[in-house]
Amino acid sequence: MTVSVLLAGLLIGSYTDLKDRIVPNWLTFGLIFLGVVINTLAGPGLLFSLAGIAAGFILSYPVYLFCGVGAGDAKLMIAVGAFLGFQSVIIIAILSALINGICSMIVLAKQGKLKDLMAFTVSHGAYLYAKTSIQDFSKEEIPMYGKGQPFAVYIALSTIGFLLWR
């Protein structure tokens, strides 16, 4: 039951991210709540979910802060942690980032913009280094090429792949 609830939520989140470029709060907070309740009542326990939530937050919030993902995507990763625990969410976060990176490079290569991406990556990396070295962790909008990728889809694909693999 735990996995089916999570997968249903991930599919809904992927659909809304593809369609409207948003992962709604009712979905993310609902999944976080259900993950805690299900694991507390019929799973590994409350601490398992709380550790997963903490890991999901630690992994996704800095990426959100520096405009790598949207807030809904970050909360969706936290929901995955609530259901699957801290060890699983670490692997899923890494897989999601890898799949996103590969897909983004393929899309940009097809558009002939891969060179632009490399230049942007270097300049943005230097910017983030300077920003963190002066301890400025404020959120700000960074200009991007197009709309970016629907990261909820990559979270869903990574979670499904992880669950099939383990």
Predicted confidence (pLDDT) per residue in 121-161, tens digit: 788 778 778 877 887 766 665 555 556 789 999 999 999 99
Confidence class for position 66, pLDDT limits 50, 70, 90? confident
Give the residue-averaged pLDDT of 96-115.
87
Distance of CA 104 to CAs 11, 42, 78, 115, 128, Å?
Answer: 21, 39, 23, 13, 20
The Cβ of residue 131 has, within 10 Å, a number of other Cβ atoms equal to 14
Supply the pLDDT for residue 136: 73
Predicted confidence (pLDDT) per residue in 5-59, tens digit: 999 999 999 999 999 999 999 999 999 999 999 999 998 999 999 999 999 999 9
> What is the distance between the alpha carbons of residues 162 and 148, in angstroms, rounded to a whole number?
24
List the structure tokens of 92.
Answer: 């899923």
Supply the pLDDT for residue 142: 57
Supply the pLDDT for residue 118: 78
List the structure tokens of 19.
Answer: 């369609």
Confidence class for position 116, pLDDT limits 50, 70, 90? confident
Supply the pLDDT for residue 48: 97
Supply the pLDDT for residue 112: 86
Give the residue-averaged pLDDT of 81-87.
97
> What is the distance between the alpha carbons of residues 132 and 8, in angstroms, rounded to a whole number?
38
> What is the distance between the alpha carbons of residues 78 and 42, in angstroms, rounded to a whole number?
20
Name residue, tokens 């383990």: 166
> What is the distance between the alpha carbons of residues 24 and 105, in angstroms, rounded to a whole number?
27
Tell me which of 56-70, 93-107, 128-142 is least confident.
128-142
CA atoms within 13 A on the CB side of 43: 20
